[in-house]
Amino acid sequence: MAKLCVNVDHVATVREARKTIEPDPIAAAILAELAGAHGITIHLREDRRHIQDRDLRIMQEVVKTKLNLEMAATKEMIDIALSVKPDQVTFVPEKRQEITTEGGLDVISQEDYLRRAIKKFKEAGIPVSIFIDPDLKQIRSAKKTGADCLEINTGKYSEAKTEKELDVEFEKVKSAVKFAYKSKLTVHAGHGLTYSNVKRVSDLREISELNIGHNIVARAVLVGMERAVREMLNIINQYSVRS
């Protein structure tokens, strides 16, 4: 089965709405791990809208599985990541005005810059993933940067309104996943995945990890983090029939 990495950013979103100390994303991460999550993802944004620097530092100390830091490939974030040394970093695009990440990173336009940045992480022994749209040209470019892994953006698949649109977007994800895998890259997937749409993606045998955040946190508000994580794991286990 694909492993589940739980993004706890939106626990911090609730906390930051009142600029208080709770709910604590670190506690949420611990509960997610206890429920069986294989990793924790956090995004330290440049505007610090949810996860804060302190959260990152403590997460690195307490997360027992894998800590995946999503980040813009800026000098500030690169310096922070090299200092804290998470288990993995994932380069993502970032705009101050966006509600959430709107699409994959345009690797083609900054291939040389990303190659230099990735070299720094390789020298520090930190694996690098790049979050990209299901676009074969972007995958080819990402391969040239020396990235260890690609996370295929499932956003458009998750936003599909009709069965036809869902099928079209799934085929794009499927083609990208298989192409990245054949290119000798570790393949992850995520963005917008929910309890109702994850099964088709989790059944792609080339995907080793799924990153899911908002839907799990939304469910956790009602039933608790441990139950919410277990329910997602049950669906992934149930439908991951691999050949």
pLDDT band at 102 (very low <50, low <70, confident <90, very high): low
Asked if 38 is an active-site residue, the reply is: no
Q: What is the mean pLDDT of residues 73-91?
A: 97
Active site residue 102: no
Long-range contacts of 130-134 (CB under 8 A, 24+ apart): 130/90, 130/91, 130/105, 131/70, 131/90, 131/91, 131/92, 131/93, 131/101, 131/104, 131/105, 131/190, 131/191, 132/104, 132/105, 132/107, 133/103, 133/104, 133/176, 134/172, 134/173, 134/175, 134/176, 134/177
Query: Per-residue pLDDT for 242 more than 80?
Result: no
Name the more confident of 243 and 173.
173
In the set 10, 191, 206, 209, the catalytic residue is 191
Q: What is the pLDDT of residue 1?
A: 80
Residue 168 has pLDDT above 60, yes or no: yes
Q: Over the stretch 21-43, which tens digit does the pLDDT of each residue have? A: 999 999 999 999 999 999 999 99
- Give the pLDDT of residue 238: 84
Annotated catalytic residue, options 10, 38, 43, 50? 43
**Confidence category of residue 101, pLDDT binned at 50, 70, 90:** low
User: What pLDDT, on a 0 to 100 scale, did the predictor assign at position 99?
Assistant: 52
Q: What is the mean pLDDT of residues 163-176?
A: 97
Calpha distance 28→40 (Å, rounded)? 10
Nearest C-alpha neighbor of 113 from the set 148, 155, 83, 141: 141
pLDDT the model gives residue 103: 78
The fold of 3-239 is TIM Barrel (3.20.20)
Active site (annotated) includes residue 70: yes
pLDDT at site 90:
98
Segment 209-225, tens digit of pLDDT:
999 999 999 999 999 99
Annotated active-site residue in 70, 169, 206, 209: 70
pLDDT of 54 over the 70 cut: yes
